[in-house]
Structure 1
Amino acid sequence: MAINLATKYSDKIAEVFTKSSFIRGKVSNAYDLTGVKTLKIYTPITVSEVDYKRSGDNRYGEGTEMQDTVQEMTMTQDKAFKLTIDKGNNVDQMNIKAAGRMLQLQLREQSTPAADKYAFKKFAMYAGKIMTVNSKPTKSNIVSTIFDMGQAMDDALVPEDNRYLYMTAEMYKLVCTSDEFIAIDKLGEKSISRGECGDIDNFRIVKVPAGYLPDNCFMLATYKQSVIMPYKIQDTKIHQDPPGISGNLIEGRHYYDAFVIGAKAMGVVALVLASEKQAAPTVSISSHKVTPTSSGAEKIMYTLDGSDPRYSDSAQVVTGEITTESGQMIRAVAFGANGKFTSDVAYATDSD
Structure 2
Amino acid sequence: MATINLATKYEKKLDERFKQSSLTDAYAGKSYSFEGVNAIKIWTIDQVPITDYNRNASASRFGTINELGDTVQTLVMTQDKAYTFAIDAGNAGEQFNIKHCNAVLKQVWDEQVVPEVDRYRFSTWSNGAGIVTAGAALTKDTVIEALLTGHAAMSNKRVPKGKARVTFISETLAIQTKLATNLQNNEKYTTGAILNGQIGVINGSPIVAVPDDLLPAGVSFLIKYKGSTVDPMKRKVLRVQTHPLGFDADIGEGRYIHDSFVLGQKINGLYVYGATASVTATPTIEIASGGQVTLTSSGATKIYYTLDGTNPKNSDTVQTYDSGSKPNAPAGTVVKAYAETTSKLNSGVAETVSAG
TM-score of the superposed pair, with normalisation by structure 1? 0.89
Count of matched residue positions in the alignment of Structure 1 and Structure 2: 344
Q: In the alignment, what sits opposite 2:330?
A: 326
Alignment-mate amino acid for residue 213 of structure 1: L
Q: In the alignment, what sits opposite 1:303?
A: 306
Shift of 1:329: 4.3
- Please give the alpha-carbon distance, in whole angstroms, between the structure 1 residues aligned to 2:118 and 2:255: 16
- Please give the alpha-carbon distance, in whole angstroms, between the structure 1 residues aligned to 2:214 and 2:148: 23
**Gap change, CA 1:215 and 1:290, over 3 Å in 2:** same
**Gap change, CA 1:291 and 1:46, over 3 Å in 2:** closer
- Please give the alpha-carbon distance, in whole angstroms, between the structure 2 residues aligned to 1:106 and 1:12: 17
Q: In the alignment, what sits opposite 1:56?
A: 57
Q: Does 1:30 align with 2:31?
A: yes
**Gap change, CA 1:298 and 1:37, over 3 Å in 2:** farther
Alignment-mate amino acid for residue 17 of structure 1: F
- Please give the alpha-carbon distance, in whole angstroms, between the structure 2 residues aligned to 1:170 and 1:325: 45
Alignment-mate amino acid for residue 328 of structure 2: T
Q: Does 1:21 align with 2:18?
A: no
Kindly indicate whether the alpha-carbon contact (under 8 Å) linking 1:233 and 1:254 is maintained by their aligned counterparts in 2: yes
Q: In the alignment, what sits opposite 1:336?
A: 341
- Please give the alpha-carbon distance, in whole angstroms, between the structure 1 residues aligned to 2:211 and 2:104: 22
Q: In the alignment, what sits opposite 1:41?
A: 42
Q: In the alignment, what sits opposite 1:209?
A: 211
- Please give the alpha-carbon distance, in whole angstroms, between the structure 2 residues aligned to 1:63 and 1:344: 31
Kindly indicate whether the alpha-carbon contact (under 8 Å) linking 1:280 and 1:346 is maintained by their aligned counterparts in 2: no
Q: In the alignment, what sits opposite 1:87?
A: 89
SS in 1 for 2:98: coil
Q: CA RMSD in A?
A: 2.3
Shift of 1:348: 6.2
Alignment-mate amino acid for residue 307 of structure 1: T
Query: Where does 1:83-232 land on structure 2 (aligned, <5 Å)?
Result: 83-133=85-135, 135-160=136-161, 161-232=163-234
Shift of 1:102: 0.5
Q: Deviations over 1:280-311 (max 9, x none)?
A: 44555566655745465444322221222123
Q: In the alignment, what sits opposite 1:4?
A: none
- Please give the alpha-carbon distance, in whole angstroms, between the structure 2 residues aligned to 1:153 and 1:103: 41
Percent identity, aligned pairs only, is 31
- Please give the alpha-carbon distance, in whole angstroms, between the structure 2 residues aligned to 1:196 and 1:325: 50
**Gap change, CA 1:251 and 1:192, over 3 Å in 2:** same
- Please give the alpha-carbon distance, in whole angstroms, between the structure 2 residues aligned to 1:208 and 1:179: 22
Kindly indicate whether the alpha-carbon contact (under 8 Å) linking 1:80 and 1:251 is maintained by their aligned counterparts in 2: yes
Moved more, 216-225 or 155-164: 155-164
Kindly indicate whether the alpha-carbon contact (under 8 Å) linking 2:264 and 2:310 is maintained by their aligned counterparts in 1: no
**Gap change, CA 1:323 and 1:304, over 3 Å in 2:** same
Kindly indicate whether the alpha-carbon contact (under 8 Å) linking 1:181 and 1:187 is maintained by their aligned counterparts in 2: yes
Q: In the alignment, what sits opposite 2:240?
A: 238
- Please give the alpha-carbon distance, in whole angstroms, between the structure 1 residues aligned to 2:244 and 2:298: 56
- Please give the alpha-carbon distance, in whole angstroms, between the structure 1 residues aligned to 2:287 and 2:152: 33
Moved more, 279-288 or 40-49: 279-288
Alignment-mate amino acid for residue 160 of structure 2: P
Q: In the alignment, what sits opposite 1:272?
A: 274
Shift of 1:94: 2.1
Alignment-mate amino acid for residue 310 of structure 2: S
Q: Deviations over 1:126-178 (max 9, x none)?
A: 01211222x22111111111111211222222222321111222222222221
Moved more, 170-179 or 14-23: 170-179
- Please give the alpha-carbon distance, in whole angstroms, between the structure 2 residues aligned to 1:250 and 1:166: 34
Kindly indicate whether the alpha-carbon contact (under 8 Å) linking 1:198 and 1:205 is maintained by their aligned counterparts in 2: yes
Stretches of structure 1 lacking an aligned partner (at least 5 in a row): 1-6
Moved more, 49-58 or 198-207: 49-58
Q: In the alignment, what sits opposite 2:11?
A: 10
Shift of 1:64: 3.4
Kindly indicate whether the alpha-carbon contact (under 8 Å) linking 1:221 and 1:270 is maintained by their aligned counterparts in 2: yes
SS in 2 for 1:211: helix
Q: In the alignment, what sits opposite 1:256?
A: 258
Kindly indicate whether the alpha-carbon contact (under 8 Å) linking 1:290 and 1:323 is maintained by their aligned counterparts in 2: yes
- Please give the alpha-carbon distance, in whole angstroms, between the structure 2 residues aligned to 1:55 and 1:240: 82
Alignment-mate amino acid for residue 210 of structure 1: D
Shift of 1:87: 2.1
